[in-house]
Amino acid sequence: MTAWIRVVTLVGILASLVACSGPEAEVARQDSAQGHYDIGLGALADNNLSKAISEFKLAVEENPSNARHQHGLGNAYLRNNQIDEAIAALRRAGELEPRLSDAFNDLGAAYMRKQMWDPAIEAFRRALANPNYLNPERAYLNLGNIYFIRGQFDRAAEEFRRLLDLFPQSADGHFFLGRTLLAQGKLAEAREHIEQAIKLDGTVAAFHLDLGIVLLRSGQRAEARESFRRALDLNPAGPEAEAARRNLRELN
C-alpha cells in the first residue's frame, strides 16, 4: 500500500510539472514580464533609474525575446550613463525587431556619448529606414549634430533641411540649421532661421545667444547686446551664460 501511494504521488507531481510548463505557464511568464516592464516605465517617468533598471532586467530575464523590454533596459542604462550596457541592450533590441526605430535612435545616442561617430550614423540611418517611424525629428537632429561636430557643415545643413521639410515648425530644426549657417558665415540666412526658432520657442537661452552672435558679426551691436541680455535673463547659470557675459563685456 505504501509503495502504491508513493507511485501515485510521483505521478501527480510529474503531471503538475507538465501543467506548469504548458501554455498557461507561458502566458503567466509573459504577463509577469510585462508587469515588470510597466513598472519600469513608471520608474523611468519618475526618473528613478535604479528602480527602472531593476524592473527592466527582471522583464528581460523572464522574456528575453521581447524587443521592447530590451529597449526599455537600454534606454534606462543610457539615461544612467551606463553606456556599454546600454549599447548591448539596444543592439539586442534592434536584432529582435529591426523596425524598432526608437531603439536604433537610442543606440546612436549611446555611440555619440562614446564619440563613435560612424556607428552612430549607421544607427540613426537604421532608425530613419523605417517609413513608419513616428519620431524621425530626433534622428535627423542627431545626424545633423554629428556632421556639425565633425565640421561637415554642408552635410549637417542637409540633415536639418530634411528635418524642416517634414517638421517646418520644429524650433530645434530652425535653430540648428541657423547655427550651421552661422558656422558657414551665411549670416542673413542664419538670422532668419534662428529668429524663426525664437518665434516658435522664445524660452531657450541658446537661441538668443546665437542670435546675438549673428547680430554682432553683422555689426548690429545694440541688437546683439539685447539678445545676450535676454539669454542671461533666461538662464543665468546655464552653459550659455558665460558666453553671453563675455560678449557683453566686449560690447561695453
**Residue 35 Cα distances to 39, 76, 86, 97, 102, angstroms:** 6, 17, 21, 21, 21
Residue 21: phi and psi, rounded to 5, are: -100, 5
pTM, whole model, 2 decimals?
0.83
pLDDT digits (tens, 9 = 90+) for 42-83: 999 999 999 999 999 999 999 999 999 999 999 999 999 999
Contact 104, 94 (CB under 8 A): yes
Residue 238 confidence (pLDDT): 84
Q: What angle do CA 153, 101, 129 make, to 5 degrees?
A: 60
> Residue with C-alpha cell 544612467?
80
Residue 3 confidence (pLDDT): 44
Summary mean pLDDT of the chain: 91
Q: pLDDT tens per residue, the chain (252 residues)? A: 444 334 444 444 444 444 455 677 777 888 888 999 999 999 999 999 999 999 999 999 999 999 999 999 999 999 999 999 999 999 999 999 999 999 999 999 999 999 999 999 999 999 999 999 988 999 999 999 999 999 999 999 999 999 999 999 999 999 999 999 999 999 999 999 999 999 999 999 999 999 999 999 999 999 999 999 999 999 999 889 999 999 999 888
Residue 26 confidence (pLDDT): 73
pLDDT digits (tens, 9 = 90+) for 10-47: 444 444 444 455 677 777 888 888 999 999 999 999 99
Judged on CB neighbours under 10 Å (0-12, 13-18, 19+), 159 is buried
